[in-house]
Amino acid sequence: MIADRIEAKWIDLFAEVFAKCKVAPGDICAVLSESQSRALNVQLAELALARLGARPFHVIVPTPRQTAPVPIRSTGASVALQNLGPAINALSSSVFVADCTLEGLMHAAELPAILKGGARVLYISNEHPDVLERLAPSSADEEQVRAGMRRMREAKAMKVTSPAGTILDVRIEGARVGGVWGYTEKPGTLSHWPGGLCLGFPKAGSVNGTLVMAPGDINLTFKRYIESAVRLTIENDYATKIDGDSLDAELMRDYFAAWGDREAYAVSHVGWGMNARARWDALALYDKRDVNGTEQRAFAGNFLYSTGANEVAGRHTLGHFDLPFRHCTVELDGKPVVRDGKLVA
């Protein structure tokens, strides 16, 4: 266990990242948290904003009662705000919002109203600062991710293969393409830290093939490395079969089924990691409570396949898997952007 102690180096770190978000002296900045937020990150956010000369204030809401049939992890769709008007107004009228909620505002229902006011929102992933420290963003990260986004926007088709047996075809034309590099400078936008990935939300009926999870691939909802192969058959976006005799396969089948919702089986987004400082093996070195798995989404060369909500395809659900694959080749219109798990320059 790493001590939850405020360190001067972490105040410096948060201040450096907030400065990349163009936080300036006198800016009115909100620190959004909930009662179950990681208190250390909330405190560091306030102290860093004060160090920059900003005028921070807190919006703290109670963590809502759970209503889902299973534990929810890493959805990016915080329900903490509960459409609370005064809180939303306070956030939308801020110059900058340090989002310290457990799940983050990326897909939260209230996000459009907050961004409409011009706030720049940075979701600080629910990681211990020891993780965030290794993954401080840089301008080089932004350049690389933007280049990946351009490649994806220009492409019509994505093909993913692997030695384990993955053969996946994705019609990427018309997908909503996004990318995160760990900070945001533009009013009315959101990013998250750690960053370093490029992804797309495909239109309905765009994904078909076979995904084979091999030992060392990761199920981030469970914060667990795969130990035995799991084969997913994808037909018109939906996982129609989850084959395997292992505990890994049984856990996935039961979690999928627990939602009682067909949309939980559908693709959310596809993409690849671009952060050379992020490590796939770091998950083995932390207690589960100290990490949220964002590092493993972003490690360079992984293929990231996610299930659950996809607004482009008109699908909404809280059921969610983030599945980073190693050793894949990812091609856009026949040209590789990842070859055998390594980024192509």
Give 160-176 pLDDT, tens digit per residue.
999 999 999 999 999 99
- Minimum mean pLDDT range among 18-32, 48-62, 76-90, 146-160: 76-90
Tokens found for residue 228 = 């035995």
Indicate yes or no: pTM above 0.75: yes
List all residues 6 or more positions away from 116 whose beta carbon is below 8 Å from its beta carbon. Answer: 92, 188
Q: Is 6 helix (H, G, I), strand (E, B) or coil?
A: coil
Amino acid at 15: A
Q: Do the Cβ atoms of 182 and 190 come closer than 8 Å?
A: no
Q: Is residue 334 pLDDT above 70, yes or no? A: yes
DSSP category for residue 67: -
Mean pLDDT of the chain: 95
Which pLDDT band holds residue 155 (cuts at 50, 70, 90)?
very high
Q: How confident is the model over 177-188, as a mean pLDDT?
A: 96
Q: How confident is the model over 45-54, as a mean pLDDT?
A: 98
Q: Tell me: the pLDDT tens digits for 221-250? A: 999 999 999 999 999 999 999 999 999 999
- Gyration radius (Cα) of the chain, Å: 19
- Ramachandran area for residue 85 (φ above 0: left; ψ -120 to 50: alpha; else beta): alpha
| CA–CA distance, 47 with 49 (Å, rounded to integer) | 6
Strand partners, 339: 342
DSSP category for residue 63: P
| CA–CA distance, 51 with 263 (Å, rounded to integer) | 45
Largest CA distance in the chain: 59
Q: Tell me: the pLDDT tens digits for 100-143? A: 999 999 888 899 999 999 999 999 999 999 999 999 999 999 99
Q: Tell me: the pLDDT tens digits for 22-31? A: 999 999 999 9
Q: What pLDDT does residue 24 have? A: 98
Q: How far is CA 88 from CA 60, 84, 149, 220, 322, in A?
A: 12, 6, 30, 30, 28
Q: Is residue 327 pLDDT above 70, yes or no? A: yes
List the chain domain ranges: 8-124, 139-180+195-343
Strand segments (E) across the chain: 28-34, 55-61, 96-99, 120-124, 157-161, 167-171, 176-180, 190-193, 197-201, 207-213, 218-219, 224-225, 230-235, 238-243, 267-273, 303-307, 321-325, 329-332, 335-339, 342-343
Q: What pLDDT does residue 1 have? A: 59
| CA–CA distance, 113 with 126 (Å, rounded to integer) | 23
* Assigned CATH topology for domain 8-124: Rossmann fold (3.40.50)
Q: Tell me: the pLDDT tens digits for 59-85? A: 999 999 988 888 887 777 888 999 999
Amino acid at 281: D
- Ramachandran area for residue 133 (φ above 0: left; ψ -120 to 50: alpha; else beta): alpha
Strand partners, 209: 168, 234
